[in-house]
Chains A and B, each alone.
Chain A
């Protein structure tokens, strides 16, 4: 699979061959930092001053590089495909190799950052439990109702804005046994041949 780069993108990236290869590596590092922590215009300004070029040019270069990396990581394209895709830019071989190294080094990291983006459902984080026995209430003075109190910690959102929400729930022992058996059935479903076949075949 090849990446199709737009004209604007190509133009933004055309800044790269004009600078030193070490600078390109530095740009790659900055781009990855930005993916994790967000952009800061100060760095652009500093780099532009050093290179004696306009700030926009540096910014476009870095952002173009960032986009190239995320797109290729998103599709998880192979080395050959990556090189073929970059070929359109008409860079020298050395620069292409540097880009490839950047891609290979940071592919997994970029994917993990990206994987946090789409989670719109809360995800399981932890569960705490406690065995309670209700011994009396305002309307009944002698009782013994065993109850299992659960605190379900859920996690939602992306890396920078994880919000933990907790729900306090209760359940009785027989329902607890039922829950365990149902969820064990769910785990067992992972090991059925049907599921395994699908896991094997869809890659």
Chain B
């Protein structure tokens, strides 16, 4: 895992016992994870009683560095050993590595989820609803007398739902279901490689 110079500097000051003591180190680690996982960016996230006596610039720098390290580690899918060896290189004590890695393990899944949610995708089908109707007559035609389906696919793009509506006859629906079944079969086959 590569880290830029400024991040390394911030982390080194975080490792320094004279800059961050026994109480403020875990507090800052917690704050770093929380500030990433909370749903809104709270400007007062660093106003913790344990962090009051630390120089604000140093604090902000270390916070930025810690946040960057966390995100990089999750991005590279680094396991505990990788993170701890990285911290070891930055002169962290074993105790602090333990604290950091423990918190990292606890929050890794959530962070992964957070990072996975970034990206672009076509609309996702979440659900489908259907209605079977009987077409009897219309303005142009009497005695049509055909059953047909009204299908509505519930899709979602970036959190905004959208319905795709279309009609199909029984044969067309059979075709659709057949193709989807084909797909499911191939998915299952792929799972047994």
Contacts and interface: CB of A to CB of B under 8 A. Distances in A.
A180 B184 contact: yes
Interface string A36-65: 000000000000000000000000000000
A75, A117, A179 interface centre (most CB from chain B within 10 Å): A179
B138 interface: yes
A106 to B, nearest CB: 15
Q: Is the interface of B mostly helix, strand, loop or mixed?
A: mixed
A146 B167 CA distance: 29
- Chain A binding surface SS class: mixed
Contacts of B184: 173, 176-177, 180
B122 A179 contact: no
Interface string B36-63: 0000000000000000000000000000
A183 B167 contact: no
B115 to A, nearest CB: 4
Given A140-B115, A167-B123, A114 B141 contact: yes
Contact of A76 (B119, B143, B172, B182): B143
Nearest to B174: A187
Contact of B180 (A74, A137, A142, A176): A176
Interface residues of B, number: 57
Contacts of A145: 116
Contact of B151 (A124, A129, A149): A124
Interface string A159-195: 0000000011111110111111011101101100001
Nearest to B131: A186
A75 B182 CA distance: 42
Nearest to A140: B115
Interface in A138-162: 138-143, 145-146, 148-150, 152, 154
B177 A180 contact: yes
30 contacts: A75-B142, A115-B140, A118-B139, A122-B167, A123-B172, A124-B151, A137-B116, A138-B119, A140-B116, A141-B77, A142-B76, A146-B187, A146-B190, A148-B183, A149-B122, A150-B125, A167-B123, A168-B122, A169-B124, A177-B184, A178-B128, A180-B181, A182-B130, A183-B128, A183-B177, A186-B132, A199-B134, A199-B147, A202-B136, A202-B145
A180 B176 CA distance: 9
B181 A140 contact: no
Contacts of B22: none
A187 to B, nearest CB: 6
Contacts, number: 163
A140 B75 contact: yes
Interface in B68-111: 74-77
Nearest to A110: B141
Contact of B165 (A118, A121, A177): A121
Given A118-B141, A142-B77, A203-B145, A127 B176 contact: yes
Contact of A124 (B140, B144, B167, B180): B167
Contact of A139 (B115, B140, B168): B115
Nearest to B113: A140
A18 B183 CA distance: 65
B134 A139 contact: no
B165 A122 contact: yes
A141 B130 contact: no
A137 B173 CA distance: 35
Contact of A118 (B112, B121, B138, B175): B138
